[in-house]
Amino acid sequence: MSEEQEKKDKPEEAPAVDPEREAKLKAAAEARAARQAAKEKAEAEAAEAASPEPKPPSPKQPQPDRLVALVRQAAGDDAIMESYLNELNGDMPTLVIHNKHWRSIASMLKEHDELRFNYLRNVSGVDYETHMEVVYHMISLESKQEAAIKVRTERDAASVYSATPVWATANWNEREIYDLLGIDFPGHPDLRRIMMPDDWVGHPLRKDYEPLDSEV
């Protein structure tokens, strides 16, 4: 019975709603058009702003420029493989260097009067499958100048000069990297495993590591 009633009611109600609905549709269409226009305008403005100058240089630009110059001076022109500002990380000056230059660069970074990176905050190792990298994040507590130095090495017989003689804090960090990634650190005073048992086979954080028991 109620169904019948509904059927009856519907045709009566529908025309009553229509003008309101039409008004709504019209308003929506207008809003859409306005949005479209605004979007086009914004895009045009953005394109205009972007075209003459692709990107304003970072205010931090002089810092890495000077860093690059000093590193070149210390280790030769071919020492730096790449240098850039890491935009994701608040324009952190980042240098990629090859291992063979690392020993001379490390002590320069700490001792040079303009840099004085006296605080090594983090050391991490990364297995890129084609090569390995050890990343040193450092900061000068006096000038608050920061840098990330990425030391690249081959994947087979990976080896990076130890930074422990320069920053004592690198000691355990490098031991951890040796343990988990199998990177050798010549010059390290006490290179042993630190997390895994001494008789462990393999280096777990390598991308091609196969666990002994895959069920675990």
Partner 1 sequence: MIRTEELLLNVGPQHPSTHGVFRIVVKLDGEVITEATPVMGYLHRGTEKIAENLNFTQIIPYTDRMDYVSAMTNNYVLVHAVETMMGLEIPLRAEFMRLIVMEMQRVASHLVWWGTYLLDIGAMSPFLYAFRDREIIIDLFNELCGARLTYNYMRVGGVKWDAPPGWMDKVRDFIPYMEKKLQEYDKLVSGNEIFLARIKGIGQYDAATAIDYGLSGANLRCTGVDWDLRKAEPYSLYDRFEFDVPLGTRGDCYDRYRIRLEEIKQSLRILKQAVEQFPQGGETMGKVPRAIRPPAGEVYVRIESPRGEIGCHIVSKGKAEPYRLKFRRPSFVNLQLLPKLLVGETMTNLITILGGVDIVVGEVDC
Closest approach, Cβ 178 to partner 1, in A, equals 13
Residue 56 or 197 with smaller CB distance to partner 1: 197
Residue 191 or 194 with smaller CB distance to partner 1: 194
Closest approach, Cβ 121 to partner 1, in A, equals 6
Closest approach, Cβ 103 to partner 1, in A, equals 18
Distance (Å, rounded) from C-alpha 145 to C-alpha 140? Answer: 5
Residue 55 or 144 with smaller CB distance to partner 1: 144
Task: For residue 203, count other CB atoms closer than 10 A to its CB.
Answer: 20
Q: Which residues bind partner 1 (CB under 8 A)?
A: 86-90, 92, 118-122, 124-127, 135, 137, 141, 144, 148, 167-169, 171-173, 176, 180, 193-197, 204-205
Residue 68 or 196 with smaller CB distance to partner 1: 196
Closest approach, Cβ 120 to partner 1, in A, equals 5
Closest approach, Cβ 50 to partner 1, in A, equals 18
Residue 167 or 178 with smaller CB distance to partner 1: 167
